[in-house]
Amino acid sequence: MSLDEHWFSEPLEPEGVAFSLRVTEKLHDERTAYQHLEVYETARWGRLMLLDGCVMLTSRDNFIYHEMMSHPALFAHPDPRDVLIIGGGDCGTLREVLKHPGVNSATQVDIDEAVTRASERFFPELCQANDDPRARLLFADGVRHVAEARPDSLDVVIVDSTDPVGPAEGLFGEPFLRDVRRALRPGGIMVQQSESPLFHSESIIGALHTAMGNAGFDTVRTLTFPLPSYPGGWWSATLGGKGADVTARRPQGAEPGFETRYYNGEIHAAAFAAPQFCRGAFGAG
Ligand code: SAM
């Protein structure tokens, strides 16, 4: 039995699994300088963006990802003013970061301008904060941008990248992580999307813990959250602190003080719980 042409499917071959969505129309198809960018209308999940055949986001569940990539780190930091987002070209993470009134500047550096232009056209709700005077959108290689960043100039760095192949490969390496740490002020925090706890707990999450530790981050912790449209339906982000407690929540309390759909104070605490089979990879002892 196979799905007909009205279904999009993303197989994860090594795991013998696929995620599928019923699609109703292809809205966009572009070979950019870096990747194959497609946008579809789906039957029940709103719009779907793919890069090189992999799901980047759907209208229906992207809020979970964007909120969990930004709010835990921004609330763990006592006073996040200057934020850098590497990747994140759909602008959803930028929108969440700018919900924090204390943030003075949020710079997004994506290698591929075509992703942002497509998001402006097909996911305008994610781009609502692009005209905020605190936002700066650059189109350049994030590895190079961070290598050239001023030391001690940032409070939070969020790496909202594609999978660690192709242009994003360097974003998972130790030299890049060292440069991120150097660019952070003391007390600064970095966040890296770190793939599926079920499929990549040792190969990516465990390796990232080792690399962040080698790069000089003194606390490294992984949080998890559901994400139905990513392989396995369950995703992770790994945080590293430069002399910071990456799990702290300030101010204490249940609500963030602005509108969210997934994140709140209870989710913040619960997300850092390490499942038994992940404890080694997550450095939870
Ligand atoms: N986290 C989502 C996922 O896992 O499917 C990805 C969202 S976001 C659209 C990923 C972005 O990272 C893409 O727009 C891509 O262009 C960007 N990217 C990949 N490598 C990069 C690099 N070296 N520097 C800056 N941006 C990069």
Q: Whose alpha carbon is nearest atom 16 of ligand 1?
A: 112
pLDDT at 285: 64
Q: Report whether residue 141 contacts ligand 1, using a CB cutoff of 6 Å.
A: yes
Query: Which numbered atom of ligand 1 lies nearest the CA of 116?
Result: 14
Q: Whose alpha carbon is nearest atom 4 of ligand 1?
A: 162
Ranking 22-36, 111-125, 189-203 by mean pLDDT, the lowest is: 189-203
DSSP E strand stretches across the chain: 7-12, 17-31, 36-42, 47-51, 54-58, 82-87, 105-110, 135-139, 154-160, 184-193, 219-226, 234-241
Q: Report whether residue 69 contacts ligand 1, using a CB cutoff of 6 Å.
A: no
- Using CA atoms, how far apart are residues 30 and 241, in angstroms rounded to an integer? 38
160 is catalytic: yes
Residue 234 has pLDDT above 90, yes or no: yes
- Using CA atoms, how far apart are residues 243 and 284, in angstroms rounded to an integer? 18
Query: In this structure, which long-range contacts are made by residues 273-279, counting pairs with CB atoms below 8 Å and at least 24 apart in sequence?
Result: 274/222, 275/197, 275/224, 277/201, 278/197, 278/201, 278/205, 278/222
Tokens read off for 99:
């919900």
Ranking 115-119, 249-253, 269-273 by mean pLDDT, the lowest is: 249-253
Question: What average pLDDT does the segment 15-34 reach?
Answer: 96
Q: Report whether residue 86 contacts ligand 1, using a CB cutoff of 6 Å.
A: yes
pLDDT at 5: 75
Tell me the three-class secondary structure of 56-101, residue by residue. Answer: EEECCCHHHHHHHHHHHHHHHCCCCCEEEEEECCCCHHHHHHCCCC
Q: Report whether residue 110 contacts ligand 1, using a CB cutoff of 6 Å.
A: yes
pLDDT at 202: 82
Percent pLDDT > 90 in the chain is 90
Q: In one letter, which amino acid is 165?
A: V
Q: What is the mean pLDDT of the chain?
A: 95
Ligand 1 mutation target, pool 84, 110, 139, 204, most atoms within 8 A of CB: 110
- Using CA atoms, how far apart are residues 180 and 159, in angstroms rounded to an integer? 10
pLDDT at 27: 97
Of the candidates 97, 108, 110, the one whose C-alpha atom is nearest the C-alpha of residue 66 is 97
Q: Report whether residue 281 contacts ligand 1, using a CB cutoff of 6 Å.
A: no
pLDDT at 42: 97
Q: Whose alpha carbon is nearest atom 14 of ligand 1?
A: 89
Question: What average pLDDT does the segment 21-41 reach?
Answer: 97
Q: Whose alpha carbon is nearest atom 6 of ligand 1?
A: 162
pLDDT digit string, tens, across residues 132-168: 999 999 999 999 999 999 999 999 999 999 888 888 9
- Using CA atoms, how far apart are residues 217 and 208, in angstroms rounded to an integer? 11
Catalytic, out of 110, 112, 155, 160: 160
pLDDT at 1: 47
Tokens read off for 230:
């990513």
Residue 209 has pLDDT above 90, yes or no: yes
Ligand 1 mutation target, pool 58, 122, 161, most atoms within 8 A of CB: 161
Question: What average pLDDT does the segment 248-253 reach?
Answer: 81
User: Could you tell me which residues are beta bridge partners of residue 8?
Assistant: 21
pLDDT at 3: 60
pLDDT at 203: 84
User: Could you tell me which residues are beta bridge partners of residue 48?
Assistant: 40, 58
- Which has more pLDDT, 108 or 162? 108
What residues contact residue 124 under an 8 Å CB cut-off, 6+ apart? none
Query: Which numbered atom of ligand 1 lies nearest the CA of 230?
Result: 5
Residue 183 has pLDDT above 70, yes or no: yes
Under the banding of pLDDT at 50, 70 and 90, the label for residue 274 is very high
Percent pLDDT > 70 in the chain is 98
- Using CA atoms, how far apart are residues 54 and 107, in angstroms rounded to an integer? 25
In the chain, what are the domains?
2-58 (2.30.140.10), 62-278 (3.40.50.150)
Query: Which numbered atom of ligand 1 lies nearest the CA of 55?
Result: 5
pLDDT at 195: 94
pLDDT at 56: 98
